[in-house]
Amino acid sequence: MAAVDRISELSDDLLLHILSSLHTKDAAATTVLSRRWRPLWRRTCVLNLYSEPFLPTHNAFFRFADGALAAVLRRGDDPALKKLSLAVDSAAARPVLSNFDSRIGAILSHRAAAGLQDLRVDCLPVAGAGDAGDTIGMYKLRLASLPCAATLRVLHLACCCCYSSPPSVVAAFPSLTDLAMTRCMLSLSKGGHLLQTIVDAAPRLAMLRLDRVHLLISAAKTKEETAVLRLRCPTVTTLVLVAVTSRIEALQLDAPSLVSFSYGGHPMAISLAPPPANLAVVDVDISRPSFFTGKYEPVCRVLCSLGGGDTTTMRAMTLRVYCVDDILDDGGGGALPVFPNLAFLHLEAQYLHSRYQTPISLSAMAKLLQSCPAVSELRLRLTTKDDSHSHPVSEEQRFNRRISGNSIGRRIESSSSSSSKDEGDHELKRQRVSEPAIECLEKTVRKVTMEFTAKEMDSFPVHLTKFLVENAMVLEELHVDDTAQFFLDQKVEKWRADSFQRRNLPIVGRFEVKPM
């Protein structure tokens, strides 16, 4: 039976959409399929120019890129080129091309690219990029020379060294709404920093992502002048900061329109002033260990900087910390803020696998839950950290955590492990009298996801799971990823039934245990 050519039955618009997602070299190769395919690739609004298929001959890639742009120019504005993706292995090309920067610049300044709406320049080495502060191989992009600046809506840069001369002068980006920089370098000069100049030149900017961006600090600036990164972005609604490197020890963000904020890096002071009125989603990753504990902020102070109290609008938070015990006050961080509207909480942390450490870890979780009185979905991903000596906490901080955590942690652990009805009632009464209630467990938590690998029953994740099952009064679903299969065999249902029986309470509503 002869094969049916269903691809050629598609409309030109669908075929052009498919060709737009291919490398331009592969799109051009479709001309051999049939007479209908010959002009199609030249009619796409997208050019994806990647040097990898041409390696090791870099000159062949640049000749092909010039030819593709010339073909766009010959067809005029029917249709105009809207998107250009340029990916060049700079580490391989620069040693054999003395004019590497000018060859890239010729592509970006080509007349065919003058009306671009989407520009993506990726000069990351295929073998992997080096340190963020290493300028070797980076394409030196002069922002004032982009001819498509007036029409750009999306600008994504990777492994580019951005500069302007003078730093206060860049092209205006009146239509730019999405700016992303990965492993790029920007100048931080005496008169300000180039990043702020770019943001100021984009009055419609809504999304800003900085991933491992290195700020070049002027020798004229003192440590005090560079310790705080101040960024004003009044129109940005989504802000992502990942491992921004330099001598920065604090962030001061003026972003009143923020709706979503993500930060990844060392725990440092983060100021959101004025507080964003509509901040709904927060993702904080401060799980990177540092052995210079005096330089970085406690977890509770980092969370306090994100807001709290009756005015906060935060609905979802993902928190990644180095160790779950870091949530506790260690003698200088203060109390956790209250997030009254938080409905979703995702925590990723390590825990110290120690019989003496479990009460402290349980107390840390209790205090975190007390700060989220309205949370309805709780996701926990816990991994084991057996070597307590490698945990970057001073002896004084460890002692303060034991003082702060042992009281409630011991009671939770005792209540969750007691086999006697009377003993369980006694411990429960002691906990209710001496500790604040965990409001979310009594009223709102309906779904819990536990992801961990249990090594034995007497471990922090097992005690925590048992505590949640016994005390989350309206819990409907428990999703468990337990590769040791310790308690999927009807243990969870029994824990819950025994707990409600001790309280003389009926089990109302459905409750299901589901493996992940």
Is the distance from CB of 217 to CB of 237 less than 8 angstroms? no
Residue 222 confidence (pLDDT): 54
Residue 155 confidence (pLDDT): 96
* Cα separation, 415 vs 407, whole angstroms: 12
Is the distance from CB of 299 to CB of 335 less than 8 angstroms? no
Residue 42 confidence (pLDDT): 74
* Cα separation, 315 vs 411, whole angstroms: 30
- Sign (positive/negative) of CA torsion 487, 491, 497, 501? negative
- Residues 464-512 have pLDDT tens digits of 999 999 999 999 999 887 654 555 566 888 888 888 988 888 877 788 8
Is the distance from CB of 353 to CB of 455 less than 8 angstroms? yes
Give the other-Cβ count within 10 Å of 406's Cβ. Answer: 16
| Amino acid letter, residue 174 | P
Is the distance from CB of 10 to CB of 48 less than 8 angstroms? no
Structure tokens at 169: 């002068």
* Cα separation, 267 vs 303, whole angstroms: 10
Bond before 256 cis per omega within 30 degrees: no
Residue 257 confidence (pLDDT): 95
Could you tell me whether strands 154-158 and 178-182 are parallel, antiparallel, or unpaired per DSSP bridges? parallel
* C-alpha angle 453-456-460 in degrees, rounded to nearest 5: 70
| Amino acid letter, residue 146 | L
DSSP string, 28-72: HHGGGT-GGGTTGGGG-SEEEEESGGGTT-HHHHHHHHHHHHHHH
Residue 53 confidence (pLDDT): 80
Structure tokens at 353: 């696998």
3-state helix, strand, coil in the chain (%, to 5): 35, 25, 40
* Cα separation, 495 vs 491, whole angstroms: 6
Residue 268 confidence (pLDDT): 84
* Cα separation, 17 vs 457, whole angstroms: 55
* Cα separation, 417 vs 327, whole angstroms: 24
- Residues 377-431 have pLDDT tens digits of 999 999 887 554 444 555 445 545 554 554 554 555 555 554 433 433 343 334 4
pTM for this entry: 0.84
Three-state helix/strand/coil letters over 188-208: EECCEEHHHHHHHCCCCCCEE
Domains of the chain: 45-126+137-221 (3.80.10), 226-314 (no CATH), 317-385+438-515 (no CATH)
Residue 137 confidence (pLDDT): 64
| DSSP β-bridge partners for residue 236 | none
* Cα separation, 426 vs 406, whole angstroms: 18
Closest CA to 265 of 285, 236, 292, 291: 285
Q: What is the pLDDT along the chain (516 residues), one digit of tens a residue?
A: 556 667 777 777 787 777 777 787 877 777 777 777 777 777 788 899 988 888 777 888 889 899 989 888 887 766 788 999 999 887 777 767 778 888 888 999 999 999 999 999 998 775 554 444 455 567 888 887 788 999 999 999 998 888 765 555 567 899 999 999 998 888 765 445 788 888 999 999 999 999 988 877 655 455 555 578 889 999 999 999 998 776 678 889 999 999 999 999 888 888 888 889 999 999 999 987 654 444 678 888 888 888 766 667 899 999 999 999 888 865 555 688 899 999 999 999 998 887 778 888 999 999 999 999 999 999 999 988 755 444 455 544 554 555 455 455 455 555 555 443 343 334 333 444 345 679 999 999 999 999 987 667 788 888 999 999 999 999 999 988 765 455 556 688 888 888 898 888 887 778 888 877
Q: How far is CA 245 from CA 131, 141, 214, 220, 268, in A?
A: 10, 20, 5, 18, 12
Q: How far is CA 249 from CA 196, 225, 242, 513, in A?
A: 18, 11, 14, 45
